[in-house]
Amino acid sequence: MNILKIAAFSDGERGGNPAGVVIQPTLPADREMQAIAAELGFSETVFAMPQGQGWRVRYFSPEAEVPFCGHATIALGAALAMHYGDGDFPLQLNQASISVSGQYQAGRSAPPCNHHRPAVHR
């Protein structure tokens, strides 16, 4: 399983708000998502899988599933752009439908609401 560690609102390798990002063909079981989030130790980890024309998304803190996380959504936008190219990505959350935009150019990600490159660690 490929787990990205992306800091939204960062200035390259400095600062930012880190989140774990997991993009898989199918979502892991609830217990596994919870265990991964706890092991990473970030305030939130986002899990995404393709669904229809968009993405099914769930967020987990180290303690429990949470309904939404802004910085993890921004990190997901950066990750989706790195993997699938620039675009607007529809997201289906547990209780809402939203979208996130992402851009990737020459090794630099530009998630929405952030004019700095996010720090990406693999």
pLDDT tens-digit map of 57-99: 999 999 999 999 999 999 999 999 999 999 999 999 999 999 9
The tokens describing 14, both together, are 């400095």
pTM above 0.95, yes or no: no
Residue listed under structure tokens 């970030």: 42
Mean pLDDT of 23-48: 97
CA 51 to CA 113: how far, in whole Å? 25
CB 57 within 8 A of CB 32: no
- Which residues are known to be catalytic? 44
The tokens describing 10, both together, are 């960062």
pLDDT of residue 110: 46
